Amino acid sequence: MEVEKARVLIVGAGGVGIMAAYALEVGGKAAVTLVMRSNYRRAQDAGISIDSVDHGKGIREWRPTEIRNTIPDVSQEGIPPFDFILVTTKNIPDVPPTVADLVAPAVSPGHTAIVLSQNGLNIERPLLARFPQNPILSSVSMISTTETSPAVVVHDFADAQKIGPFVPQPAAEAAARRYVAVYNGSGRLADVVYDADVPRARWHKLVYNASFNPVAAALRMDTARMRMSRHVVDDLVRPIMLEVVAAARAAGHVLPPDLPDALIRVDPVEAAFRPSMCQDADKGNLMEIETIVGEPLREGEARGVPMPTLRTVYGILKGLQLQTKVAKGLWEPAFDDDNPYR
C-alpha cells in the first residue's frame, strides 16, 4: 500500500516556488498544487522548463500535480485539507493583501502548516495571531534561481534551506521535521535541513540582505561595482552589517565575527549581481522594506543598539517606496489635515 502523499500548496510561483514544487514532486512524498499568476497560461499550454544545478538540465514540459491561478478555498470547494502551504511571495506588509489574508481560504485550522520562505524578521507574527492552531514554519533559503521568462527557470545555486518552527513547540517542531523529510524525498538536497534556531538563521541572512539589498536599491548598483568603488562598502554596506550584527547580538544571537567580511565578498565579481531589492527598484516594483530593513532596525533600536546608517537608509528606502506607490496609484500626494509641514 502506497503511503499517502502530503498535500502541499505553493503560493508564489517564481523561481523559488517552482523549484520547490519540483523538489517536492520529484521526491515522491508530496502532491503539489502550484498557484501561478502571470506564468499560468504558459505553464498550462507548454509546461514548465527547468535547468537545475540540483535536478539536471533539460527538464521540459513539466507540471506538478495541479496548477491553478487562484488560491484554493478549501471549505467552499470541498477539497481535502492541505498539509502544508509554502509561501514564496514577496512580503510587503505596507500594502494589501497581507500574507495572512492571501492564504486564509486555503488554511484548515488545526491542520495546515504554513511555511514562510521569505526574508526578514517578525513575518510570523500576523500568522501566529490569525492561525493560532496551526504550525507556522520558517524557511531561510540560500537558493539562487531565476525565472528567465514565464515558466522558464534557471536554477544555478544549490537549494539550501534552514527550516524550523517560529515557536519552539512540539507540534510545530514535528511539522517542520516532516516538511524537511517530504521536501527532500529525493535525497538529493543535503543542504535542506532542520534548524531549530530560527531567529539566528534569520539574523544571519539579514547581515547580507539588510545591507547589500537596500544600498543596491538606492544606488541601482550591482554588488561588484559597489566593491570596485570601495566607498560604497566602507561608507554604507559594512557599517550596516556591523549594526545588524550588533542588533543580533543584543537579541541573543552571536554571529561569527568574520561574517561581514565574508559576505562582502560572497558574490562572484564577474557576474554584476543585482540583489533582489535592486531588481525590484529596476522594475518599479514595491520592495520588501519593512521586513528586511524596518524590523531589524526596530529590534536593534528597541534594545538600545545605535543603528544610524540603517536608520538613514531606511528613511531613503521608505521615500523611494513612496515614489513607487505614487506611480502605482497607491498613494495620492496630499497634505493630511494634521500634517505639521503644510
Residue with smaller CB distance to a second copy, 174 or 326? 326
Instruction: Report the nearest approach of a second copy to the CB of residue 243 (Å).
Output: 11
| Residue 283 touches a second copy, criterion: CB under 8 A | no
**What per-residue string of b and e applies to 313-340 under the rule 16 or more CB within 10 Å gives b?**
bbeebeebbeebbeeeeeeeeeeeeeee
Report how far residue 139's alpha carbon sits from residue 163's, in angstroms, rounded to the nearest whole number.
5
Q: Taking CB under 8 A as the rule, which mask of x and - marks residues 206-245 in contact with a second copy? A: ---------x--xxxx--xxxxxxxxxx-xx--x------
Q: Identify the residue among 314, 324, 329, 337 touching a second copy (CB under 8 A).
A: 314
The residue type of 45 is D
Helix (H) or strand (E) segment spanning residue 33: strand 30-35
Does 313 bind a second copy (CB under 8 A)? Our answer is yes
- Decide whether 63 or 227 has the Cβ nearer to a second copy: 227
- Closest by CA to 294, choosing from 321, 269, 275, 271, is 321
Q: Does 341 bind a second copy (CB under 8 A)?
A: yes
Nearer to a second copy, 12 or 214 (CB): 214
Nearer to a second copy, 176 or 221 (CB): 221
Q: Which long-range CB contacts under 8 A does 145-149 form with residues at least 24 apart?
A: 145/15, 145/16, 145/18, 145/19, 146/15, 147/14, 147/15, 147/18, 147/39
Segment interacting with a second copy, rule: CB under 8 A, options 44-52, 162-170, 193-201, 334-342? 334-342
CB of 251 to a second copy, least distance (A): 22
Q: Are 151 and 36 in contact (CB under 8 A)?
A: yes
Burial (Cβ within 10 Å: 0-12, 13-18, ≥19) of residue 256: exposed
Of 154 and 224, nearer to a second copy (C-beta) is 224
| CA nearest neighbour of 307 among 253, 262, 245 | 245
The site string for a second copy over 105-134 (x = CB under 8 A, - otherwise) reads ------------------------------
Cα gap 37→128, rounded to integer Å:
27
Nearer to a second copy, 190 or 272 (CB): 272
Which grid cell sits at 226? 559597489
Q: Which is nearer to a second copy, 191 or 261 (CB)?
A: 261
From residue 234, alpha-carbon distances to 44, 210, 243, 260 in Å are 48, 15, 13, 12
Residue among 38, 109, 315, 327 that touches a second copy (CB under 8 A): 315
Would you state the cell numbers that stand for residue 160, as one nine-digit string?
539550501
Residue nearer to a second copy on the CB measure, 45 or 258: 258
User: What is the nearest approach in angstroms of a second copy to the Cβ of residue 339?
Assistant: 6
Residue 137 phi/psi, 5-degree rounding, is -115, 155
x/- track of binding to a second copy for residues 246-275 (CB under 8 A): ------------------xx---x------
C-alpha distances (whole Å) from 241 to each of 25, 238, 257, 302, 313 are 38, 5, 11, 18, 12
CB of 226 to a second copy, least distance (A): 8
Least separation, in Å, of the C-beta of 324 and a second copy?
11
Q: Give the binding site for a second copy (CB under 8 A).
A: 215, 218-221, 224-233, 235-236, 239, 264-265, 269, 308-309, 311-316, 318-320, 322-323, 326, 333-336, 339-342
